[in-house]
Amino acid sequence: MTHPDTPLASGLFPAGDRTNAPHRLSREGRDTLWLLAVMALIMAVHAPRLPWWANVGAVLAVGWRAQLAWHDGPMPRRWLLLVGLAASMGLTVITYHTLFGRDAGVTLVTLLACLKTLELRARRDAFVITSLGFFLILTQFLYSQSPLVALLMLMGFLGLMSSLVLAQRPLGRPSILGAVGVAGRSTLMGLPVMLALYLLFPRIGPLWSVPSDARKHMGLSDRIQLGQFESLATDDTVAMRLKFEGDAPPRAELYFRGPVLEVFDGHAWTARPTPPLTMNHADSEPLGLRALPAEALAATQLHYEATIEATHLAHVPLLEGTVSAIPAPPATEPHLFRTNLGWRVAGTLLERLQVRGTAMRRYVAGSTEEAPSARYALALPPGSNPRTRAWALAWRSEQHLNQADALTLTKAWLTYVREANYRYTLTGDTTTEGSMAQPIDRFWLERRAGFCEHFATSFVFIMRTWGIPSRVVTGFQGAELNPVDGLHVVRNSDAHAWAEVWQAGLGWIRVDPTAAVAPERIERPRSDPAARAGQAGALQQIDPALWSYLRNHVEAANHRWNVWVLQYSSARQMTLLKDLGIDSPSWIDLIRICAGLLTAAVLAGFGWLWWTRPKPVLSAWHPPMWRVHKALASLGLPAPAMPAPASALAWSAVIEQSPANTLDPSTKTRLQQALHELDAWRYGAQPLPTAQVTRQTRPVIQLLDALIRAERKRKARTPRY
Amino acid sequence: MDAHRLPQMWRTRWQAWWDARTPRRDHQVLTQRNLYILPSKAGWGFGVVFLVLLLASINEQVNLGYALSFLLAGAAGAALYQTHGNLHGVQMRLGSVRSVHAGEAVQLPITLINGHRQRGRYGLQITAGHKAPEGTLTGPGSPRDAELPPGGETSVTLEVATAQRGWLNLPPLLIETRYPLGVFRAWAYWRPESRVLVWPALDLQAPTLPASGQSSDAGQHTHHIRRLDAQAVDLREYRRGDPLSAVAWRKSSVSMAAGGMPVSREWPQGKSTDLLLDFDHTPGLQGLDAEHRLSRLASWLLEAEQQASGQGPLYGLRLPGVTLEAGRGPQHLRHCLDQLATWQRTP
Question: Under 8 Å CB-to-CB from A279, ≥6 apart: which residues?
Answer: A335
Judged by average pLDDT, the poorest of A300-304, A668-672, B22-26, B135-139 is: B135-139
The reply to whether residue A142 touches residue B53, judged by beta carbons under 8 angstroms, is no
Instruction: Say what the pTM is.
Output: 0.62
Burial (CB count <10 Å: 0-12, 13-18, 19+), residue A387 = middle
d(CA A452, CA A385): 19
What is the residue-averaged pLDDT of chain A? Answer: 78
Q: Choose from A194, A349, A565 for mutation: most chain B CBs within 10 A.
A: A194
Nearest to A365 by CA among A471, A453, A272, A264: A471
* Inter-chain touch A170–B145, beta carbons under 8 Å: yes
**What residues contact B308, with CB distance under 8 A and at least 6 apart?**
B314, B315, B328, B329
Q: State residue A25's pLDDT score.
A: 84
Q: Give B66→chain A minimum CA distance, Å.
A: 6
Q: Are residues B190 and B288 in the same domain?
A: no
> In this structure, is residue B29 part of a structural domain?
yes
Q: Is residue B323 part of a domain?
A: yes
Task: Indicate which CATH number applies to the domain containing B32.
Answer: 2.60.40.10
Residue B218 lies in a domain: no
pLDDT category of residue A702 using cuts at 50, 70 and 90: confident
> pLDDT value at position A239?
84
The answer to whether residues B183 and B300 belong to one domain is no
pLDDT in tens, A659-671: 777 777 888 888 8
Residue A701 identity: I
Same domain for B274 and B184: no
Instruction: Output the pLDDT for position B177.
Output: 94
B289 domain-assigned: yes
Same-domain pairing of B183 and B271: no
Cβ–Cβ of A612/B178 closer than 8 Å?
no
Q: Do B194 and B272 belong to one domain?
A: no
Q: Is A54 exposed, middle or buried (0-12, 13-18, 19+ CB in 10 A)?
A: buried
Q: Are residues B180 and B42 in the same domain?
A: yes
Expressed in percent and rounded to 5, the helix, strand and coil fractions of chain A are 50, 15, 35
- pLDDT given at position B82: 92
Q: Nearest residue of A to residue B180 by CA position?
A: A165
Could B181 and A210 be called an inter-chain contact, meaning their C-beta atoms sit closer than 8 Å?
no
DSSP A173-216: ---HHHHHHHHHHHHHHHHHHHHHHHHHSPP---SS--------
Q: Is A448 left (phi over 0), alpha (psi -120 to 50) or beta?
A: left
Q: Look at B58 and A170 and tell me if their CB atoms are within 8 Å.
A: no
Task: Determine whether the interchain pair B70/A198 forms a contact, defined as Cβ–Cβ distance below 8 Å.
Answer: yes
**What are the tens digits of pLDDT across the range B240-267?**
666 677 777 888 888 888 877 788 776 6
Cα A160 to Cα A36: distance, rounded to the nearest angstrom: 10
- Rounded CA-CA distance A531/A533 in Å is 5
Closest CA to B227 of B214, B241, B245, B250: B245
Instruction: Give the pLDDT score at A579.
Output: 83
Average pLDDT over residues A3-18: 40
Name which of B42, B55, B177 is nearest A207 (Cβ-Cβ).
B55
Instruction: With cut-offs at 50, 70 and 90, classify the pLDDT of residue B24.
Output: confident
Closest CA to B64 of A76, A564, A388, A431: A564
Which pLDDT band, with edges at 50, 70 and 90, does A402 fall under? confident
Query: Are both B135 and B280 inside the same structural domain?
Result: no
Q: Do A164 and B74 touch (CB under 8 A)?
A: no
**What's the mean pLDDT in B186-202?**
91
The confidence band for B198, taking pLDDT boundaries of 50, 70 and 90, is very high
Model-level ipTM above the cut of 0.90: no
B100-101 and B105-113 strand pairing: unpaired
Q: Is residue B156 part of a domain?
A: yes
pLDDT band at A365 (very low <50, low <70, confident <90, very high): low
DSSP assignment, residue A658? S
Percent of chain A exceeding pLDDT 90 equals 11
The percent of residues in chain A predicted with pLDDT above 70, rounded, is 81
Same domain, B36 and B124: yes
The whole-number average pLDDT for the span B125-154 is 82
B106 to chain A, closest Cα gap in Å: 25
| A82, pLDDT greater than 50 | yes
Element containing residue A28 per DSSP (H, E): helix A27-44
- Residues in B touching A609 (Cβ below 8 Å): 81, 84-85, 88
Q: Are residues B189 and B288 in the same domain?
A: no
Q: Give the mutation candidate from A121, A132, A138, A590 for the B interface (greatest B CB count, under 10 A).
A: A138
Q: Within a domain: residue B58?
A: yes
User: DSSP of B1-54, one letter per residue?
Assistant: --TTHHHHHHHHHHHHHHHHHS---SEEE--TTT-EEEE-HHHHHHHHHHHHHH
pLDDT of residue B126: 92
Question: B200: exposed, middle or buried (C-beta count within 10 Å: 0-12, 13-18, 19+)?
Answer: buried
Where does a domain end: B173, B198, B223?
B198
Find the CB nearest A194 among B67, B180, B182.
B67
Higher model confidence: residue A97 or residue A284? A97
| DSSP tag of B95 | -
Q: Which of B143, B169, B198 is where one domain is finished? A: B198
In the predicted structure, residue B37 carries a pLDDT above the cut 90: yes
How many Å lie between the alpha carbon of A197 and the closest alpha carbon of chain B? 6
Contact with chain A for residue B178, Cβ under 8 A = yes
Cβ(A141)–Cβ(A149) under 8 Å? yes
- Domain presence at residue B224: no
Is residue A16 scored above 90 in pLDDT?
no
Q: Is B46 on the interface with A (CB under 8 A)?
A: yes
- pLDDT tens profile A204-259: 766 664 444 433 444 677 777 776 544 445 566 788 888 888 888 888 888 898 88
**In DSSP terms, which residues pair with A487 in a beta bridge?**
A482
- Judge whether residue A539 has pLDDT over 80: no
On the question of pLDDT at B2 being above 80, the answer is: no
Q: pLDDT at position B49, please?
A: 94
Q: What is the pLDDT of residues A37-69, one digit of tens each?
A: 999 999 998 888 888 989 999 999 999 989 988
Closest partner residue to B74 (CB to CB) among A131, A190, A565 is A190
pLDDT at A135: 92
- Contacts with B145 from chain A: Cβ below 8 Å: 170-171
Range of the domain at B326: 266-342
The last residue of one of the domains, among B168, B198, B228, is B198
| B55 and B135 together in one domain | yes
Closest CA to B92 of B127, B139, B136: B127
Partners of residue A189 in chain B, C-beta under 8 Å: 74-75, 78, 81-82
- The answer to whether residue B320 is domain-embedded is yes
> Which residues are paired to B156 by β-bridges?
B110
Q: Does B70 touch chain A (CB under 8 A)?
A: yes
Answer yes or no: do B184 and B290 share one domain. Answer: no
- φ, ψ (nearest 5 deg) of residue B260: -95, -165
A189 and B82 within 8 Å at the Cβ level: the answer is: yes
Nearest-CB residue to B42 (from A127, A137, A150): A127
> For chain B, what is the domain count?
2
Strand partners, B105: B161
CB-closest option in A157, A197, A613 to B89: A613
Task: Sheet containing A336-339: give its strands across.
Answer: A315-316, A342-345, A336-339
What is the spatial distance between Cα B62 and Cα A565, in angstroms, rounded to a whole number?
Answer: 10
Give the Cα separation of A81 and A514 in Å (integer): 58
- Is B73 an 8 Å CB contact of chain A? yes
Query: CA–CA distance from A408 to each of A135, A322, A401, A402, A515 (Å)?
Result: 62, 28, 8, 11, 17
Q: Which of A429-438, A665-674, B63-72, B106-115 has the lowest mean pLDDT?
A: A429-438
